[in-house]
Amino acid sequence: MTSTGMNMMSRIVFYEDRNFQGRSYECMSDCADMSSYLSRCHSCRVESGCFMVYDRTNYMGNQYFMRRGEYADYMSMMGMRDCIRSCRMIPMYRGSYRMRIYERENFGGQMYELMDDCDNIMDRYRMSNCMSCNVMDGHWLMYEQPHFRGRMMYFRPGEYRSFMNMGMGGMRFMSMRRIMDSCY
């Protein structure tokens, strides 16, 4: 590792009980199913980097963004109803950000290109729904409510033709934010 953080390794430590008690499991990359390492997970410490954690295995269910810090009882802090079951490491990215959002599935309807955060797509674009997107550059968080509130979902570069088919139960996205190096 270098002192500049350019080659920084991401590291998160999960604990079975609140306040960093019980068995622990250290993770430095993606983990699709934590059940073979811990029977439950009620606290964690992000030592470096950023992660998305999920309340179901295989990166499914509700998602939560975790940056460097201590989460002694994240279930009450974040309103989680269930334990963490999987996690995904978000790689550090330094470059331009570009994403196209579409009103309908399969890149249909109105299209707008974003290169910065958008706290309300209705106010900025008069767009009442966002049903698909194409992330060309960068890593993004999309939120179900304006002003970066409510449930969120992590998007890395790729095509997302239908949010309905991604197991989000009809979740609508109304704001989006770039995951910048200041998050690390």
CATH number at residue 36: 2.60.20.10
Q: How many CB atoms are located within 10 Å of the residue 160 CB?
A: 21
The residue segments making up the domain with residue 162 are 98-183
Highest mean pLDDT among 58-62, 79-83, 170-174: 58-62
Calpha distance 184→30 (Å, rounded) = 17
The model's pTM: 0.87
**Which of 39-53, 71-85, 142-156, 159-173 shows the lowest per-residue confidence on average (mean pLDDT)?**
71-85
68-127 pLDDT per residue, tens = 999 988 766 666 666 889 999 999 999 999 999 999 999 999 999 999 999 999 999 999
Q: Which of 90, 117, 147 is the last residue of a domain?
A: 90
What is residue 167's predicted lDDT score, i.e. its pLDDT? 66
Longest dimension (CA), the chain: 51
Domain shared by 103 and 53, yes or no: no
Domain shared by 179 and 110, yes or no: yes
Q: Per-residue pLDDT for 35 more than 80?
A: yes
Domain shared by 85 and 104, yes or no: no
